[in-house]
Structure formats: structure tokens, C-alpha cells
Amino acid sequence: MKSQKRLNVFALLIALVTGYKCYVHFNFTTFSFEKPVLDTLYLIAFLFAVGVLLKDFFTFQKKEEN
């Protein structure tokens, strides 16, 4: 019986919201953020959520190969 790959919806939602906020607050002409401290927290949360999504994806592939 094959197990289906599940998407971590919680991490995906966090990645979408924080990534969008980083994109909106970033000024592309001066390459700076509107609120540097808050946007740094958004960026850290975005990278953490993407890391969780990638970790889940690669660990699922390893389990499937065995």
C-alpha cells in the first residue's frame, strides 16, 4: 500500500503570509524594508516555514525509496 504525500498546510500558510508581507514591505528602488525589525522577523519565519516544507518533502522521498 502506497502512502500519500501530505502537504504541511500550517507551514504553507505561514510561508505565504510572511512571504507576502516581506514582499509588500520591501522597497525595490532603495533595497530596504519599511520596518526593518518587523520585516526581519517575517523573513526568519518565512525561511523557517520553507525549511519545514522542504524537510518534509525530502524525508518523504527517503521513506518511499526504502
User: Mean pLDDT per 10-residue run, the chain (66 residues)?
Assistant: 74 96 94 94 96 85 63
| Residue 15, domain member (yes or no) | no
> Residue 48 belongs to what domain range?
30-65
| CA 10 centroid distance within chain | 10
CA dihedral 12→14→17→22, nearest 10 degrees, is: -110
Q: What is the pTM of this model?
A: 0.78
> Structurally, how many domains does the chain consist of?
1
Helices 9-25 and 36-65, packing angle to 10 deg: 150
| Residue 50, domain member (yes or no) | yes
Residue 63: what pLDDT? 64
Decide: helix, strand or coil at residue 57.
helix
Residue 34: what pLDDT? 92
Residue 27: what pLDDT? 93
